[in-house]
């Protein structure tokens, strides 16, 4: 029985396809001859691709903060036929101190970065299992393994996505379903222009929060060294690997930041070995 990666034409489902990495990946898949269902909030953003590729591109309007909309769009996509590759790409970041964030900002951040990918992943697992396999690509971030001031809600979503994905990957390994966490670094996708800032308070203006806020407000394209077209090509190639990696760090900044963070955590853990063992029952 052929696996999805053996098919001449594969069907993709990509969220957040109106710009950035999602658009590059949509265009790359279409250029390679595949079919794509792309979700956006404003369909006009993909009119040029639709003119070029015709009915190989299906555009769906989707607001990821509305679970009912997720069910509706995924259900309609599945009724059209099998989906081989799912890419949970949509995302944004709220910038500011945790104390400054409103409940609505936190809720929307978690719904987009974590709840929606969880719901979409769950919706495709049974169809993929029944068709003999599939690929689910979770667009995480180097922020899924490190943490910086001003991004607490963003990190909560991405760290949660990493844990969810690693757990599910083990649950479905026997069904030829592969999940991969893509961890891009600073990529020139226009992500910075989509940052949503909290209302700044005086208490945080001159500490690490304020300094990070000022850096982000002044950042230009030169600090975003990742090429989204190259990222899209690397992700596409991974979907054809028989045993893709669970995590795919993309960007030298990602590699360096995660390597440093994991080294520090391991060093700190080693100092706690005896304390960890000391809480066991003694007989």
> What pTM does this model have?
0.93
Distances (CA, A) of 58 to 4, 16, 17, 88, 154: 19, 13, 11, 16, 29
Provide the total of helices (H) and of strands (E) in the chain, helices listed first: 10, 9
Residue 275 lies in a domain: no
Q: What percent of the chain clears pLDDT 70, i.e. is strictly above it? A: 96
Residue 259 lies in a domain: no
Question: Which candidate in 140, 141, 152, 153 is catalytic?
Answer: 140
Which of 39, 30, 25 shows the shortest CA–CA distance to 230?
25
User: Is the Cα torsion angle 121, 126, 131, 133 positive or negative in sign?
Assistant: positive
Q: pLDDT digit string (tens) for 261-274? A: 999 999 999 999 99
Residue 198 lies in a domain: yes
Residue 197 annotated among the catalytic residues of the structure: no
What is the spatial distance between Cα 229 and Cα 223, in angstroms, rounded to a whole number?
A: 17
**Do 246 and 180 meet the contact criterion of CB atoms below 8 Å apart?**
yes
Number of domains in the chain: 1
The rounded mean pLDDT for the chain is: 93
Q: pLDDT digit string (tens) for 13-52? A: 999 999 889 999 999 999 999 999 999 988 899 999 999 9
Q: Is a pLDDT exceeding 60 seen at residue 3?
A: no
Residue 140 annotated among the catalytic residues of the structure: yes
Domain enclosing residue 198, as ranges = 4-252
Q: In this predicted structure, what is the pLDDT of residue 2?
A: 39
Sorted by sequence, the CB contacts under 8 Å of residue 38 that are 6+ apart come out as 14, 17, 22, 26, 46, 57, 58, 59, 60
Residue 230 annotated among the catalytic residues of the structure: no
Question: Which candidate in 152, 153, 154, 236 is catalytic?
Answer: 154
Q: Is a pLDDT exceeding 70 seen at residue 117?
A: yes
Q: In this predicted structure, what is the pLDDT of residue 43?
A: 85
Residue 85 lies in a domain: yes
Residue 179 lies in a domain: yes
Question: Which candidate in 153, 158, 204, 236 is catalytic?
Answer: 158
* Mean pLDDT of the 111-132 span: 96
Residue 110 pLDDT grade (very low, low, confident, very high; cuts 50, 70, 90): very high
Q: In this predicted structure, what is the pLDDT of residue 226?
A: 83
Residue 207 pLDDT grade (very low, low, confident, very high; cuts 50, 70, 90): very high
**3-class SS of residue 197:** strand
What is the spatial distance between Cα 104 and Cα 106, in angstroms, rounded to a whole number?
A: 5
Residue 280 lies in a domain: no
Q: What percent of the chain clears pLDDT 90, i.e. is strictly above it? A: 83
Residue 262 lies in a domain: no
Residue 8 pLDDT grade (very low, low, confident, very high; cuts 50, 70, 90): confident
CATH code of residue 106? 3.40.50.720
Q: Is a pLDDT exceeding 90 seen at residue 239?
A: yes
What is the spatial distance between Cα 115 and Cα 160, in angstroms, rounded to a whole number?
A: 9
**Do 251 and 186 meet the contact criterion of CB atoms below 8 Å apart?**
yes
Start-to-end CA span in the chain (Å): 56
Which of 211, 217, 238 shows the shortest CA–CA distance to 87?
238
Residue 77 lies in a domain: yes
């Amino acid at each position: 029985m052929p696996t999805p990666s053996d098919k001449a034409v594969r069907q993709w489902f990509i969220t957040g396809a109106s710009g950035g990495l999602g658009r590059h990946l949509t265009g790359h898949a279409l250029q390679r001859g595949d079919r794509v269902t792309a979700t956006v909030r404003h369909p006009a953003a993909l009119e040029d691709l639709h003119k070029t590729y015709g009915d190989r591109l299906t555009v769906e309007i989707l607001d990821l903060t509305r679970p009912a909309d997720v069910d509706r769009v995924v259900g309609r996509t599945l009724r059209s036929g099998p989906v081989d590759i799912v890419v949970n790409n949509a995302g944004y970041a709220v910038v500011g101190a945790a104390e400054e964030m409103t409940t609505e900002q936190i809720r929307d951040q978690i719904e987009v970065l974590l709840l929606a990918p969880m719901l979409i992943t769950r919706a495709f697992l049974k169809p993929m299992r029944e068709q003999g396999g599939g690929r689910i690509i979770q667009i995480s971030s180097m922020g899924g393994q490190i943490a910086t001031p001003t991004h607490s809600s963003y990190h909560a979503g991405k760290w949660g996505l990493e844990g969810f994905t690693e757990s599910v990957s083990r649950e479905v390994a026997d069904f030829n379903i592969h999940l991969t966490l893509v961890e891009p670094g600073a990529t020139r996708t226009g992500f910075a222009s989509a940052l949503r800032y909290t209302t700044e308070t005086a208490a945080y203006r001159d500490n690490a929060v304020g300094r990070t806020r000022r850096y982000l407000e002044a950042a230009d394209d030169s600090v975003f060294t990742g090429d989204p077209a190259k990222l899209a090509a690397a992700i596409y190639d991974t979907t054809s690997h028989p045993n893709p990696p669970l995590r795919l760090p993309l960007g030298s900044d990602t590699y360096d930041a995660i390597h440093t963070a994991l080294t520090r955590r391991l060093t700190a853990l080693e100092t706690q070995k005896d304390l960890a063992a000391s809480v066991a029952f003694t007989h």
